[in-house]
Amino acid sequence: MRRYLAPTLLLPFLLGLGRCGEDPSEVRIIWEDQFDGPAGQLPDSTKWQFDVGTGWGNAQLEYDTDRAVNVSLDGNGNLAIRALEEQYLGSAYTSGRINTAGTFERARGRFEARVKLPVGQGIWPAFWLLGGNFDAVGWPACGEIDILEYRGQEPNIVHGSIHGPGYSGGGAVTGRFDLGAAFDDDFHVFAVDWDSDRITWIVDDTRYQTMTPNDLPPNSRWVFDHPFFIILNVAVGGHFVGPPNDETTFPQTMLVDWVRVYGTEP
């Protein structure tokens, strides 16, 4: 079922835009993907590109491919990113990682996705944003906003974080939200409201944390003032979650019903 954001949930975002000098009456969906299409179809190449490889600086164990078996539409209006246990180019697992670099990059607005998460020790799905100047300045100077980060061995908890110079990796500025039930049981909406001097994280109708420049470590720089692109992925292993164990079953699939960005025209 397609669910559009209720006006009550948009209200804080609209008020924030007004505070920043933008006209709230002009806020609308400026980019989206609803992942409609036949089962096995690759994601829309005019919106998404694949990251192919392994490690990514996090000691991840999977090899991310551009194969439909790892990333494709499921025929029911969802994108499926599947982590498989298989030998592939020297890795014991495969999965997928896609991004909008070069097709859609945006500074500020509401970024949200409706997602059903996988589960299990060593499973690490994420919905996140990376600074579009990554190639020029590198990470973490480009900035990173983790809208949704999840350790499969903690199925009730999701994390929201920012990374930048002086506050990255294990030193990121972060918080967490405990649903009180497992996130793999159903779809949930994960979002951030991002304006010039604050970022607020939301799960469904709960706004669970806000970060501003005042929350950074001393002498650190707020780098969330330029366009970022969207990334969806499911990692296996890595520093944040550790490796799978004997109780981790495969395949593990993250289903994404839709991704949307709200804002005004530049």
Is residue 26 annotated as a catalytic residue, yes or no? Answer: no
Is residue 247 annotated as a catalytic residue, yes or no? Answer: no
CA-to-CA distance for 173 and 86, rounded, in angstroms? 35
CA-to-CA distance for 81 and 72, rounded, in angstroms? 7
CA-to-CA distance for 28 and 141, rounded, in angstroms? 30
CA-to-CA distance for 222 and 199, rounded, in angstroms? 11
Q: Which of 32, 144, 247, 265 is catalytic?
A: 144
Q: Which of 85, 105, 149, 247 is catalytic?
A: 149
Residue 116: Cβ within 10 Å count: 18
130, HSE (Cβ side, Cα atoms, 13 Å): 19
Question: For the chain, what's the residue count?
Answer: 266
CA-to-CA distance for 238 and 61, rounded, in angstroms? 7
Active site residues: 144, 149
